[in-house]
Amino acid sequence: MKISGIKYLTNQGIENIWKNKMMAFATFCVLLISLLLVGCSVLFYINMNSMILGLGNQNEIAVYVETDTPQERVDEIGEQLRNIENVGTVTYISKKEAYERMQNQISQGKEIFDYINDYQFMPDGFSVTVIDNEQLRATVDAITRIENIQSADSSPQVAEFLRELRRVVTLIASAAIVALAAVSMIMISNTTKASVFSRREEIQIMKYVGATNAFIRTPFFVEGLVTGFFSGAGAFFITWAIYRSVYNIIVAQGMLINAFGAGSIIPFADIRVPCGLAYLFVGSLVGAFGSVVSTRKHLDV
């Protein structure tokens, strides 16, 4: 086909949106609502996951160095810890800090410390957080293999609980997203079918004058693509507005931050680009193919 032919079919697709504006608007709305439903569910799941990971990050590994280890070696151990895969943050806790912590923890027996009054018996230590809580045990094992490490304590029960929680959340969220996606597909399919059905005679006439299926489908493809693209853009801006409002309320009131850790709720700025691209891509794809597939039934003339 010549370039002028492709240009003609593309223009036809765009013109058809205006010529069939009511049906195009219906398709736009259905696509927009479907994208919003699925998109918001995905964003909710991503944030839930992030919050669970935030909880996991608070599950520290307490690493104790042998008491007679020289300071140079302690510094080396700090470096070694940072080099271990899956280690997130490594915070050095000096003998003195450890002593003060212990004082605070045993607040009812402060008198004991009056007798001791020397922190040199305390070991140097590190507070280590992990990136992936699932690999907590392997990380602890790697830490204990380092020379001069007296012990590395973690709470595997917390890790196990978080793993289970994440699994359940993933399962429920996946089921909800799949169900919403299925409902959306049915809605979109019915709307595009209705849109194409209203133009079935037009398709038949095109067949009679010798148009190929590709020739007939191309304007429908362009029409669906453009409608889907704008639905995606609309869904993105609505999501942006809703997300920012909810995020601002949560941050302003300090909700969830204490429990799940700062940064566990993802700011929209961090996901703006992938979110926008996903909306535009999925919207265009579903719009274009929904439209093309719906023509199939009417092409057999």
Partner 1 sequence: MVELQNVSVTYAGGVDALNNVSLKINDGDFAFVVGSSGAGKSTMIKLLLKEIDATSGVVTVNGYNLSKLKKRKIPEFRRTLGFVFQDFRLIPSMTVYENIAFVLRVLDAPLKYIRKRVPYVISLVGLHAKTNSYPDELSGGEKQRVAIARALVNDPQLIIADEPTGNIDPELSYEIVELLKGINDQGTTILMVTHEHDLVRHFGGRIINITNGEIVYDEVVTGTNSEILPEVELAQAMENAARQNHNYPMPESDMYDNSTPYVDDVIAAITSTAANQGGAEE
> Which residues contact partner 1 by CB under 8 A?
1-2, 4-5, 8, 16, 19-20, 199, 201-202, 204-212, 215, 301
Q: How far is the CB of 20 from partner 1 (least distance, A)?
A: 7
Number of CB atoms found within 10 A of residue 23's CB: 21
Q: How far is the CB of 8 from partner 1 (least distance, A)?
A: 6
Q: Residue 57 or 195: which CB sits closer to partner 1? A: 195
Amino acid symbol at 212: T
- Report the 3 state secondary structure along the chain: CCHHHHHHHHHHHHHHHHHCHHHHHHHHHHHHHHHHHHHHHHHHHHHHHHHHHHHHHCCCEEEEECCCCCHHHHHHHHHHHHHCCCEEEEEEECHHHHHHHHHHHCHHHHHHHHHHCCHHHCCCEEEEEECCHHHHHHHHHHHHCCCCEEEEECCHHHHHHHHHHHHHHHHHHHHHHHHHHHHHHHHHHHHHHHHHHCCHHHHHHHHHCCCCHHHHHHHHHHHHHHHHHHHHHHHHHHHHHHHHHHHHHHHHHCCCHHHHCCCCCCCHHHHHHHHHHHHHHHHHHHHHHHHHHHHHHHCCC
Q: How far is the CB of 12 from partner 1 (least distance, A)?
A: 9
Q: How far is the CB of 2 from partner 1 (least distance, A)?
A: 6
Q: Residue 174 or 212: which CB sits closer to partner 1? A: 212
Q: Residue 25 or 237: which CB sits closer to partner 1? A: 25
Q: Residue 166 or 298: which CB sits closer to partner 1? A: 298
Q: Residue 76 or 202: which CB sits closer to partner 1? A: 202
Q: How far is the CB of 11 from partner 1 (least distance, A)?
A: 11
Q: How far is the CB of 205 from partner 1 (least distance, A)?
A: 5
Q: Residue 74 or 206: which CB sits closer to partner 1? A: 206
Q: How far is the CB of 10 from partner 1 (least distance, A)?
A: 13
Q: Residue 1 or 171: which CB sits closer to partner 1? A: 1
